[in-house]
Homo-oligomer: A and B are copies of this chain.
């Protein structure tokens, strides 16, 4: 939870004056997002999210992220809309930070997803993949194989502080993934961070995907692998094959998976678990005193990685060729 940059009443009123979105009714910082400062803005016209992009976001990537959201909305996807000011500009500056006003997407993120939620997630993710495929900008995934190698270098010497044997695990897995990472699977734009807190439901119906700030060009099935990690493990660490099967089934309604994509799923799941293990490990080892964000436990992803290492056949995920 975080508001890093404080925007006061005078500043938000002046900022809003450049838009045709009514007068300010209320403006409150929200305890959401670990990368940016987010506010709920209510005007005489509607509700919005105002985001100020903080240091962990590269400003050069913002035209990609915001342009992608704009593209997805125009394609009819369930995505928040970046709002244009009177001059048609989306990416603005506020309090010295890049900033954007985004339409408010209703819905709640679900803490304990059921198989039906996973099914709807699969359907919407595939529709998003298809809708994004003709977006005209590209962005390399900074957190794929090369990025992992860099994180391993930065964390290896202190990895065993977190778990005994973790340094060896990192080295062995890095070597495995480098040799086995698929190179022949369909690629396009993926979300790359579709955790339950980035998926909204109204009642039991999916109402939107948010937080496109890790979106990039990568293997489409890798987005599924991230979701299998984030949605299909239970609190006790067990893997729920019913949820996994429904997620993949939902995806298949909109976009058929090839046998190559299905066969590669355990390697992709290992990569996804490794990616979140590494970023959490890095944050864990580099905690800042007085930080407003609670650092997530990396050991959850050690356990998930070990599960995927043990998988010999995709049927163990609940689906098949």
Contacts of A2 in B (CB 8 A): 1, 31
Q: Knowing A42-B106, A47-B42, say if A29 contacts B9 (CB, 8 Å).
A: no
Contacts of A12 in B (CB 8 A): 108
Q: Smallest distance from the beta carbon of A85 to chain B beta carbons, Å? A: 20
Partner of A109, one of B9, B47, B112, B203: B9
Q: With an 8 A cutoff between CB atoms, is A98 at the interface?
A: no
- Whether A292 pairs with B26 at a CB distance below 8 angstroms is no
Give the docked Cα–Cα distance between A23 and B9 (Å): 30
Residue of B at shortest CB range from A7?
Answer: B111
- Whether B26 pairs with A28 at a CB distance below 8 angstroms is no
Q: Knowing A9-B108, A10-B112, say if A29 contacts B27 (CB, 8 Å).
A: no
The total of chain A residues at the interface (CB under 8 A) is 35
Give the docked Cα–Cα distance between A30 and B1 (Å): 9
Residue of B at shortest CB range from A292?
Answer: B292
A-B contact pairs, 13 of them (CB 8 A): A1-B1, A3-B31, A10-B112, A12-B108, A24-B108, A24-B202, A25-B202, A26-B106, A26-B108, A26-B200, A28-B31, A29-B31, A42-B106
